[in-house]
Amino acid sequence: MHLSVAGSTARVHGTVRVPNSKYHAHRALILASLAPGTSRITGLSDARHVQYTVDLLRALGITVEIEGDTFVVHGGAYRPRRDHVTVGSSGTTLYFMVGLAALADRDVLVTGQKYFDRRPIGPLLRALRELGVDVSSPTDCPPIQVRHGRPTGGTVHIAGTLSQWISALLLIAPFAAAHTTVIVDGPFNERSYVDLTVRMMAQFGLNVAVSADGRRYDIAPGQVAHPADLQLPPDIGSAAFGLAVAGIRPADVVLTGLPSIDPADVDHPEAEFLRIVRAMGLPMEVDAAAGAVRVRHDGARLQATEVDCRAVPDMLPVLSTMAAFAEGESVFHNVEHVRLKESDRVHAMLQLNEMGAQLDFDGTDLRVRGVPQLRGAHLSSFNDHRVLMSLAVAASAASGRSTLTFPNAYRISYPQFLDAMADLHVDMQVEKGPARPTGRRRPPAGTADEAARITGAQWIRRWADERPHSLALVDAAPDRTTRMTWSELDHAVDKAAALLIELGVQSGDRVAVQLPNCSGFVVAAAAASRIGAVICPIMPIFRQREVAFALKRSGAKLVIVADNFRGRQHDHELADILAGPEASELAVEHVLVMHLTPGVAHVLPPCDNPDVTWNAWHRASAWVTVDRAALDARAPAPQDAAQLLFTSGTSGEPKGVLHTHESLSRAAWMEIEQLPLNSTDSVYIPSPLAHQTGFLYGMWLAWVLGVPEIVQRVWNGRQALEILEAWEGTFVQAATPFLTDLVREVEAGAPAPRALRIFVATGAAVPRALAERATRVLGTAVCGAFGTTETGLAALSTPADPAGKAWGTDGKALRDVRLRIVDDDGHLVAAGVEGNFELTSPTVFGGYLDRPDLSAEAFAADGWYRTGDLAVIDDDGFLHITGRVRDVINRGGEKVPVSEIEQLLYRHEAIDDVAIVAMPDERLGERACAFAVLVPGATLSFTKLQNYLDDNRVSKSYWPERLEIVDSLPRNAVGKVQKFLLRERAATLKPQRLTTLTDTDKEDPLDDQHPGHARRTWKPNRTA
Kind and range of the H or E run holding 204: none
Task: Say whether 117 counts as a known binding-site residue.
Answer: no
Q: DSSP secondary structure string, 695-717?
A: IIIIIIHHHHHT--EEEESS--H
C-alpha pair distances (Å), 283 with each of 248, 271, 663: 12, 17, 56
Cβ proximity of 812 and 846 under 8 Å: no
The values of phi and psi at residue 913, to 5°, are -155, 150
Task: Say whether 944 counts as a known binding-site residue.
Answer: no
Cβ proximity of 331 and 365 under 8 Å: yes
C-alpha pair distances (Å), 469 with each of 6, 7, 125, 439, 616: 11, 15, 46, 22, 29
What angle separates helix 898-906 from helix 942-951, to the nearest 10 degrees? 100
Task: Say whether 163 counts as a known binding-site residue.
Answer: yes
Q: DSSP secondary structure string, 18-84?
A: PPBPHHHHHHHHHHHHHSSEEEEEES----HHHHHHHHHHHHTT-EEEEETTEEEEEE--B--SSSE
Cβ proximity of 560 and 511 under 8 Å: yes
C-alpha pair distances (Å), 332 with each of 307, 360, 409, 511: 5, 11, 25, 60
Q: How big is the chain by its Cα radius of gyration, in Å?
A: 36
Residue 380 CA to residue 436 CA, distance in Å, equals: 12
Task: Say whether 1002 counts as a known binding-site residue.
Answer: no
Task: Say whether 91 counts as a known binding-site residue.
Answer: yes
The torsion defined by the Cα of 829, 831, 837 and 841, in degrees rounded to 10, comes to: 110
3-state secondary structure 630-664: HHHHCCCCCCCEEEEEECCCCCCCCCEEEEEHHHH
Residue 470 CA to residue 708 CA, distance in Å, equals: 8
Question: Apex CA 1016: angle with CA 1012 and CA 1020, to 5°?
Answer: 150
Residue 646 CA to residue 556 CA, distance in Å, equals: 13
Cβ proximity of 849 and 657 under 8 Å: yes
> Is 314 in the active site?
yes
| Terminal Cα-to-Cα distance of the chain (whole angstroms) | 40
With H, G, I as helix, E, B as strand and everything else as coil, classify residue 514. Answer: strand
State the CB neighbour count (10 A cutoff) for residue 484: 22
Task: Say whether 249 counts as a known binding-site residue.
Answer: no
With H, G, I as helix, E, B as strand and everything else as coil, classify residue 104. Answer: strand
Helix, strand, coil percentages (3-state) for the chain, rounded to 5, are 35, 25, 40
Give, as one character, the DSSP assignment of residue 256.
E
Residue 950 CA to residue 927 CA, distance in Å, equals: 18
Could you list the beta-strand ranges (E) of 60-188. Answer: 63-67, 70-75, 84-86, 108-111, 135-136, 144-146, 154-159, 180-185
Nearest to 727 by CA among 440, 377, 276, 324: 377
The values of phi and psi at residue 656, to 5°, are -80, 130
The values of phi and psi at residue 895, to 5°, are -80, 125
Catalytic residue among 314, 384, 571, 887: 314
Q: CB burial class (10 A; 0-12, 13-18, 19+) of residue 123?
A: middle
Task: Say whether 314 counts as a known binding-site residue.
Answer: yes
Nearest to 429 by CA among 483, 380, 475, 477: 483
Task: Say whether 971 counts as a known binding-site residue.
Answer: no
Residue 463 CA to residue 707 CA, distance in Å, equals: 9
Nearest to 699 by CA among 665, 656, 740, 663: 665
User: 370: which residues sit within 8 A by CB, 6+ positions away?
Assistant: 301, 302, 304, 323, 324, 325, 326, 327, 328, 329, 330, 357, 358
Cβ proximity of 266 and 236 under 8 Å: yes
Residue 94 CA to residue 86 CA, distance in Å, equals: 8
Which residues does the annotation place in the binding site for phosphoenolpyruvate? 22, 91, 119, 164, 345, 386
Give the active site residues: 314
Which residues does the annotation place in the binding site? 22, 27, 91, 119, 163-164, 314, 341, 345, 386
Which residues does the annotation place in the binding site for 3-phosphoshikimate? 22, 27, 163-164, 314, 341
